[in-house]
Structure 1
Amino acid sequence: MRTEAQGWTIVHQKRTQWLGEFDGVFLGERDGNWLAGRMFRGQSMHDGFDENGEWWYANQYAWKAEHEASRALHAVREYVRLSKEAAQCWDGIFEQRAGEAVDRHWANRVPLVGVADMSSLWVRPGLTGDIRSGTYMLPAVEAKYDLLKLMRAAYSVHEAFRDSEQCKTGSALHKTYEAAIGAAGPVRLSVAGDRFDLRYEGRYNDSDERWGRTWTRNPHPGRTTA
């Protein structure tokens, strides 16, 4: 499967076979603009794009009056719609996987090689006190990815996207997402009373087998376990 087409980074894609024919969809990003499209139908997993990287058709989201996070949201919604038209591409977790792919793409936009391990935290007010969700200590890029996933899951963020003023360039939501996507270290963000932190504090999960096998611990010298 391709990772790039016509200068667009392929953020997520799915191609499946149905009744002897292959069909597929893709989600792309270039310079903060987003694209949702259909691949060509064909006879294999590898002929969804032609030799020049062209696709069947696509809708582009490049409105400068809206910030990138809003453009990405519109593109994901269109991507989900297209997946339901393409043979066997949509399933019950398709939208979740597409959203996670966007968050992963954003988490990797700023190189974090050498940045100390971090944890993510989401604090929201409850009837009897603050409700806290978050992660153990993780490599910086993984913690940032989890921060973006926490933001995507938050009702406060969901409601902010329903406000057309918050979708505009220069809005508070725009600045929040810019700070999250551009983070190269600890950051504290707020959306409608919910707080989202990326921090050097936290505990490691010794039962996570990825440590020592895939990841090497890189704690910050000033790390606390609070």
Structure 2
Amino acid sequence: MSTIGSEGWTLVHQARQKHYDDRYYGHWLGTRDDGQWIIGRLYPGKSMDDGFRDGEWAYSKRFAGDPSTDNADAALTAYVEMAHNTFVWDRVFDQTVGEAIDLYWAGPEVPDAPKLAAGWAGAESPNPDRVVSSAGCSIAMPLHEAKFLLLHYLRRTELAAKAHLTKGVTVDRHGAVEKVRCATGPIRFEYGYNTYWLT
């Protein structure tokens, strides 16, 4: 991860490519330790490398407030929308950017940290005749990789978890993400109708 701008934004994702007019367009996604997120449009230019000028950019929109996970989710949505205007969107763009955010949240490799497996399983729904059987589990891997995978599971299964139906009963999305981000060893928690773990 690199830091850009005088305000110390950490660059989480950047996309730039050549358009039919032979100019390069793109934008970037960043965050700071205070939980703010930002999307910035790069300057149009003649190469892949001239989007920033002295570490600055052409335009930005910031997302600040509590909880910080909402800022990241709002920034992701706006970033994907901007991708159409900067000519970098493709069919896997949303997934790629979501993975970049999860990789940032998972943090760097921690020497001597335990190896853990990441997993999730659907819990019983309010309808006793319907049990969600979908599940995923990994082999034991370095902590930061397991955290990344569990954050990926959270993102991928968010709709199926139906957390809005268990508001106040389980952790919310911000709470789930924070549990994974702060994990230094095994954890287990309920998010909506799903159970997630590092073990």
The match for 2:62 is: 60
Q: Partner residue of 1:10? A: 11
User: How far apart are the structure 2 equivalents of 1:132 and 1:57?
Assistant: 42
Q: Which residue of 1 aligns with 2:81?
A: 81
Residues in 2 aligned to 1:156 and 1:192: alpha-carbon distance in whole angstroms:
10
- Give the whole-Å Cα distance in 2 for the aligned partners of 1:37 and 1:128: 44
Q: Could you report, residue by residue, the CA deviation over 1:203-226 in whole angstroms, capped at 9, with x for unpaired residues?
A: xxxxxxxxxxxxxxxxxxxxxxxx
TM-score where L is the length of structure 1:
0.76
Moved over 6 A (4+): none
Kept after mapping to 1: 8 A contact 2:76/2:98: yes
Partner Cα distance (1:107, 1:158) in 2: 21
Preserved contact between residue 156 and residue 194 of structure 1 (Cα < 8 Å): no
Q: Distance in 1 between matches of 2:42 and 2:133?
A: 46
Report the CA distance between 1:131 and its aligned residue.
3.3
- Counterpart CA distance in 2 for 1:24 and 1:50 is 14
Q: Any idea what SS the aligned residue of 2:97 has?
A: helix
1-side partners of 2:160 and 2:37: how far apart?
A: 20
SS of residue in 1 equivalent to 2:134 = strand
Give CA deviations for 1:35-80 in whole Å, capped at 9, x if unaligned.
11210101111111102x11011110012xx311111000000000
| Pair 1:144-2:147 in alignment | yes
* Runs of 5+ unmatched residues, structure 2: 125-129
Using the alignment, how far apart are the partners of 2:46 and 2:70 within structure 1? 35
Paired residue total: 187
Partner of 2:47: 44
**Which has the larger displacement, 36-45 or 172-181?**
172-181
When residues 70 and 24 of structure 1 are mapped into structure 2, their CA distance, relative to the original with a 3 A threshold, is same
TM-superposed deviation, 1:157: 7.2
User: Structure 2 CA distance, aligned partners of 1:69 and 1:159?
Assistant: 17
1:22 aligns with 2:6: no
CA contact (8 A) 1:152 1:158 kept: no
Counting only pairs closer than 5 Å after superposition, residues 184-223 of structure 1 correspond to structure 2 as: 184-199=184-199
SS in 1 for 2:123: strand
Q: Structure 1 residues 156, 190: CA separation in 2 closer, same or farther (over 3 Å shift)?
A: farther
1:77 and 1:158, CA in 2 relative to 1: closer, same or farther beyond 3 A?
farther
Aligned AA for 1:26?
W
RMSD over equivalenced CA pairs, Å: 2.3
The residue aligned with 2:123 is: 125
Q: Give yes or no for contact 2:31–2:37 (8 Å, CA) kept in 1.
A: yes
Q: For the structure 1 residues 172 and 91, does the alpha-carbon distance in structure 2 shift closer, same or farther, using more than 3 Å as the test?
A: closer
- Counterparts of 2:72 and 2:86 in 1: how far apart (Å)? 21
Are 1:25 and 1:37, in contact at CA under 8 Å, matched by a contact in 2?
Answer: yes
Pairwise mapping of residues 152-191 of structure 1 onto structure 2 (< 5 A)? 152-156=155-159, 159-160=162-163, 172-191=172-191
Answer whether contact 1:151 1:157 (CA < 8 A) is retained: no
Aligned to 1:214: none
Q: 1:55 to 1:158 in 2, by over 3 A?
A: farther
